[in-house]
Amino acid sequence: MAKMAAYVVESGEDAFRKIFKFYKRRNPPPDLSDVIDFSRSAPGDQVIPAILDPGGVSDVEAARVGLQPVRDWRAFGLQSYPGFMFISNPFLLGSKPFWVRQCLKTYPQKPNVCNLDMHMSPSDTQDIWDKSVHGLSCPHSRKTQPKTLLDSLRWVTLGYHYNWNTKTYSANHYTPFPADLHSLSFQITSACGFPGFNAEAGILNYYRSDSSLGIHVDESELDHSRPLLSFSFGKSAIFLLGGTRRQDPPTAMYMHSGDVMVMSGQSRLLYHAVPRIVAAPQGHPALEMEGCSSASTLHDCSMVEPLSETDWAVCSRYTQSARVNVTVRQVLGPGQSFSETPTSHQKTDADQTEGPHDQLADGESGTRRSSCDSDIVET
């Protein structure tokens, strides 16, 4: 941490912002030697083993959603962040392409909501995948083709649809949460000691190589005693985990494809951000190494279906140059409902307009961006 400590000269003011800018910088590129890499690290001073509950999830239940047996998971915590858990790619070989396909082909479909709905008609955003696939699966036409809808996809919301302007969820904007992602989230949280997790809202973020996600806290959920889950697919990212105050300098770590993060307890409401997308490291199997044929090693009763050649080719190509992040949230506590909390100030979804893009163009705000193009900023 010596280099970083020197960089934060006056650590009284917003240390998070300084470190965010350090990692976001293009020229010269930042020194990444202080970034924790859980895929390589063994427990040490900062990185500690996480306690899992292998009894909470059977091997069959894990395999059904494409996960390795819990006893084989490499799960870590961080010394000064109680409640934070990092599971280094617990997916079975061959199951990641299925989840990537869900993120690119299935979840952007109606009735789910995406950024393209803000300025396009429902019929135009009906079949993002089908309308984009031709351009993507045909390698020669790639450079000559105009941007596809899939290229322009930035966010999708599931379940209780997050309203970017009011920063709230509401009872009157809910569509069924995808059963497969609910199941995956349920199994992971059970293994982490949170039985009964009810996935009610999801936000998918689609990052290009030059995207970043501003400094924020996820506090819109009504029950903060439930953990927040985050999945990463495709290119790697640098994730910054800070404290409860902007002055607290954050810890930098890599998120690689397949990694899962759980923010619970005292870590549930910490500042965090993604300043940079980086190449997947050497030696990390890219999606193409998990060819569609390897899905045959999956159980018969699995929710994880093998991909068609075309689907696999599109997913493989997409994840070589982009990153998909899925965050899953339980919004309400057991027995809780929106009616218990006054929502009179809340705007309706019809009011959700395209917010000012310049507002947080440098991606360094303390809060989520109020824009229909989400928090992700491209430079």
Backbone angles phi, psi at 103, to 5 degrees: -70, -30
Q: Which of residues 245-264 bind Mn ion (CB under 5 A)?
A: none
Smallest CA-to-CA distance from 299 within 128, 96, 139, 64 is with: 64
19 vs 274 by CB, closer to ligand OGA? 274
CA-based radius of gyration for the chain: 20
Q: Residue 277 Cβ, how far from ligand OGA at the closest point, in Å? A: 9
Binding test (CB under 5 A) with Mn ion, winner from 117, 218, 221, 373: 218
Only segment of 82-90, 159-167, 212-220, 308-316 that touches Mn ion (CB under 5 A): 212-220
Backbone angles phi, psi at 155, to 5 degrees: -150, 155
Is there binding between residue 220 and ligand OGA (CB under 6 A)? no
- 370 is written with which tokens? 């109020």
With CB under 5 to 8 Å by kind, the binding choice for 36 among ligand OGA, Mn ion, none is none
User: Which residue has 């809780």 as its token pair?
Assistant: 336
With CB under 5 to 8 Å by kind, the binding choice for 230 among Mn ion, ligand OGA, none is ligand OGA
Is there binding between residue 375 and Mn ion (CB under 5 A)? no
Q: Give the Cα separation of 116 and 49 in Å (integer).
A: 41
| Residue closest to Mn ion (Cβ) | 218
Q: Give the Cα separation of 63 and 174 in Å (integer).
A: 29
Is there binding between residue 272 and ligand OGA (CB under 6 A)? yes
Binding test (CB under 6 A) with ligand OGA, winner from 133, 150, 199, 213: 213
**Alpha helix segments (H runs only) across the chain:** 2-7, 15-24, 59-64, 96-101, 128-137, 149-152, 179-191, 309-321
Only segment of 61-69, 152-160, 215-223, 328-336 that touches Mn ion (CB under 5 A): 215-223
Q: Where are the beta strands (DSSP E) in 56-123?
A: 74-78, 81-88, 113-114
86 vs 98 by CB, closer to Mn ion? 86
Residues in contact with ligand OGA by the rule CB under 6 A: 203, 205, 213, 218, 230, 232, 237, 239, 255, 272, 274, 325, 327
